[in-house]
A and B are shown apart, each in its own frame.
Chain A
Amino acid sequence: MSVTDVGNEARKGWMGLLARAPSARLAACLEAVGAMPGFDWLRVPEVGGVMVRGRMGGTGAPFNLGEMTVTRCALRLESGEVGHAYVQGRDKAHAERAALVDALMQGDRAGELRAAVLAPLQAAEAETRRARAARAATTKVDFFTMVRGEA
């Protein structure tokens, strides 16, 4: 059950989704899944700062923009899978749930978790983004020419 079997790309996808998900929504999805397996901590949830970098002119050399709060943890399920989480904010329960899902996605229950947790989170995120983009779209300016000056 090594990490490489899962496919790093897929794992990258769900770890990002879990990090961006609102904590309450993730908790509600996991509630529906039912009892969680036991686990040992490899790294208890820890709140820290990550220095966010930008690029000069958007594309140039990097510079330090400022920090963001991040909570991380790592755990090992009784069945051996190791789950990691790096989650924006200071919510330790959010990090724990994200690491649990990460670990469970590497085992037999991946299908169940995908349907009960990842799919609804994905749909909710897409809807939130669509709703903002739809509002932005109505504020796009339509220019029309009134008079064309000919000198």
Chain B
Amino acid sequence: MYVAVKGGERAIDAAHEWLAEERRGDRAVAELGLDQIREQMSLAVNRVMAEGSLYDPDLAALAIKQARGDLIEAIFLIRAYRTTLPRIGHSHPVDTGAMRCDRRISATFKDAPGGQVLGPTFDYTHRLLDFKLAADGALPEAPVGAPAEAPMPRITEFLNRDGLIQDELAGDETPPDMTRQPMEYPANRALRLQALTRGDEGFVLGMAYSTQRGYGRNHPFVGELRIGAVEVEMEVPELGFDICIGELVLTECETVNQFAGSKTEPPQFTRGYGLVFGQTERKAISMALVDRALRWQELGEDNLGAPAQDEEFVLAHADNIQASGFLEHIKLPHYVDFQSELELVRRMRAAAGDEMREAAE
């Protein structure tokens, strides 16, 4: 028997109203402004922009506020908003070589031109809770020095001069866009990078970590990690020339991986690449490791059966909105589905009971 039921509107409305009240919390405590979230929770804002795949710090701050700090819920809100935007066009590929770096380090060359610039990093903090922050402490100004005039060339360019690293051939083909066409496997590297840069940080981190622990080991060094602002240029048809439409903060990581050579490639260093919206270096490094692991086929390496080498496994499970949508839907009403399962189990039990009785007789 099938019975369609309707109802719950009042309960749902009430749930929304209570949700709004809980979001606000104790009204005796000052309400958070979007500017406060944007300025003081900036790494959360960055993660929401990266995985929401939409660069707009104010929107990300709003999403975080609305989601009560649940970043995956905030990313969901941004993804939903993103679908309402008409696509105005695409930019020229950003020139990360011209980045105005806040941070730029290399784990491979101590004396790289431009130097090792630490930037505002957690790396050398002692991870001790700073109770001064709880007490509204006054903040000393950060020291200032003479701004560096020298450019910061790419570290991999040095290796490239000697032919010791596999070349990255520039091209101008139109890359596939997973937000426009459904994913198809095998994916090419452009599609993989798009899926990874918007993928869940925890998932990509876990995959990257698995390669370090031996599941498809590829011996990475962080050749270079840079964080800073780049200008975005696009062609405007009505003008007939390119203009700068704004500026983004990006994190770029290039790994240099040992490579013994294969049937098709000489021994040389190979690369993994990560590029992510905002200051998001854990994600960018993870992305570079997973990118490198997924390149086994084009480099003629063996498939070791490692999870991080399995393109479909990695790309199909990297998206936290797809994953949580499917996962969480099972808590929504399945009364009819379950009713049929219930009847099936009852029938099977009855049949099994009959058989047992017959056997006993």
Say if the two chains contact directly (CB < 8 Å).
yes
Residues of A within 8 A of B (CB): 3, 8, 11-12, 15-16, 19-20, 46-70, 72, 74, 84, 86-90, 129-141, 143
Interface assignment of B38: CB less than 8 Å from any CB of chain A:
no
**Across the two chains, which residue of chain A brings its CB closest to B90?**
A51
As a 0/1 sequence over residues 173 to 200 of chain B, the CB contacts with chain A under 8 angstroms (1 = contact) are 1111111000000000111011001100
Contacts of B169 in A (CB 8 A): 60-61
Do A70 and B245 form a contact, CB below 8 Å, given A62-B171, A134-B147?
Answer: yes
Are B236 and A84 neighbours in the complex by a CB distance under 8 Å?
A: yes
Q: Does A66 contact B55, Cβ atoms closer than 8 Å?
A: yes
Docked-complex contact B175 and A59, CB < 8 angstroms: no
Evaluate contact between B96 and A54: CB separation under 8 angstroms: yes
Q: B residues near A, CB below 8 A? A: 49-50, 53-56, 58-59, 82, 85-94, 96-97, 100-103, 110-111, 115-121, 142-148, 154, 156, 168-179, 189-191, 193-194, 197-198, 231-234, 236, 238-248, 250, 252, 254, 271, 273, 275, 277
Distance from A40 Cβ to chain B, minimum over Cβ atoms (Å): 16
Query: A61 and B171: CB pair below 8 A?
Result: yes
Residue of A nearest to B233 (CB): A16
The smallest C-beta distance from A10 to any residue of chain B, in angstroms, reads: 11
CA distance A50 to B89 in the complex (A): 5
Q: Are B54 and A49 in contact (CB under 8 A)?
A: yes
Q: Does A16 contact B244, Cβ atoms closer than 8 Å?
A: yes
5 more A-B residue pairs beyond the given contacts A20-B231, A56-B190, A140-B118, with a C-beta to C-beta distance below 8 A: A53-B92, A64-B190, A66-B277, A140-B115, A141-B118
Q: Are B119 and A139 in contact (CB under 8 A)?
A: yes
Question: Is B50 in contact with A66, judged by CB distance below 8 angstroms?
Answer: yes
Task: Show 25 A/B contacts (Cβ-Cβ < 8 Å), sorted by A.
Answer: A11-B239, A12-B242, A12-B243, A15-B243, A16-B244, A19-B244, A46-B86, A49-B54, A49-B87, A51-B87, A55-B94, A57-B168, A58-B254, A61-B175, A66-B49, A67-B82, A67-B85, A67-B87, A68-B246, A88-B232, A135-B143, A136-B117, A137-B147, A138-B142, A139-B121
